[in-house]
Homo-oligomer: A and B are copies of this chain.
């Protein structure tokens, strides 16, 4: 894919939002072959269903309150908190108070573009 041959920096204020599920949507902010940054906006009650993928993921809570489960561990997360999900580790989030997560993936999520 041509788009993988050069890193791509987006004008993120004009990037489209993609619905993910009831109460959450995502916006790709930047990516290159080995990393992608995605903003995920949640309404209260929005659920990122339990899933896994080969990509390593670091998630940063920009705002809101969430319950996150990574592997066997569940914790409440607020602004400034972070979780790390290694390759193929199952993870999920539930939004307790509306807010935004920043998800970074390595390598990039080709399925998001």
Which residues of A are in contact with B by a Cβ distance under 8 Å?
A: 6-10, 12-13, 29-32, 34-35, 37, 39, 56, 58, 60, 62, 70, 80-84, 86, 102, 104, 106-107
Contact = CB atoms under 8 A, between A and B. Distances in A.
A96 to B, nearest CB: 19
Given A30-B83, A62-B62, 20 more contacts: A7-B84, A7-B86, A9-B84, A10-B82, A12-B80, A12-B81, A13-B80, A29-B60, A30-B82, A31-B84, A32-B56, A34-B34, A34-B56, A34-B106, A35-B56, A35-B104, A37-B60, A39-B80, A104-B104, A106-B107
A98 B42 CA distance: 28
A39 B82 CA distance: 11
B56 A9 contact: no
